[in-house]
Structures are given as C-alpha cells and as structure tokens.
Amino acid sequence: MWPPAVAVLLVLPVVVSALSARSPPAVLQLQTAKTSAAHPLHASDEVVLWCAPDNLQITIRKAWFQRKRDKKRFDALLSANKKNATLTFPSATIGDAGEYSCELDTQHGRLTSQVHLYGVLFVLLQ
C-alpha cells in the first residue's frame, strides 16, 4: 500500500512592473524684440529635451522625438550607456515650442512619454 500523498500548491503573486518612460518639461526663455518670420526670436540658451525608461535595467536601441503639431520627427542622441535619449535645440525659436512625444525602442518594446516645450517671453520694461 502506498503512503498517502500530500499535494502542495504554491501560489506566488505575479509581479509585473509597467514599462514606461519619463521626461521633464523644458522652457524656452526669450526676451522681447522685434520679430518676423525672417527674424524669429531665439532662446538665450540651448534647449535640451530628454527622456529615459523608468526601469534602469532597460537599454534603448533607438529613440526619436515627434512634434505633435506637425508630426515632424527628430532623431534623438543616445547616451553612451544607452539609458537616456536627448534632443538638443542649439538655437531654439518660439516656433519650436509645443508638445513632443518621445519614442524609445527597447528590448521590451516601444515606450512613449510626452514632453512639453513651453515658450516663455520676458518683456523688459524701461
């Protein structure tokens, strides 16, 4: 006769971490001046947009930013460790302000984050 069998059922919770990306807003700081389409206002400093996966274990294969207004796509520069993507506007204009999406192509799929580039105009009163 066989001894009675004991069945052990081990229930483990499934731990799932949502994959997401993060990116802060950026601000264009402009000073008042006469402007036209031929002579747009430029930011006083370069403007850098960045985004990165929330999970530090994820590496980025390819990244780009897309401006929502006109769907224009800008290739992003990856950091040496492939953990951060940046888009630099060396001489941004008020026309660069708007909402951008950051798209990160990773080994776990595509991650997306929204980035806002705000235009702030400073008026000097004399």
Please write the tens of the pLDDT for every residue from 16-66: 334 556 666 665 544 444 455 565 555 667 888 889 998 889 999 999 999
Class of residue 36 by CB neighbours under 10 A (exposed 0-12, middle 13-18, buried 19+): exposed
**What pTM was computed for the model?**
0.67
Average pLDDT over residues 103-126: 79
How are strands ordered across the β-sheet holding 60-67?
26-31, 109-122, 98-106, 60-67, 73-75
Hey, which bits of 54-108 come out as E strands? 60-67, 73-75, 77-78, 85-89, 98-106
pLDDT attached to residue 8 = 33
- CATH numbers and ranges of domains, the chain: 21-33+40-122 (2.60.40.10)
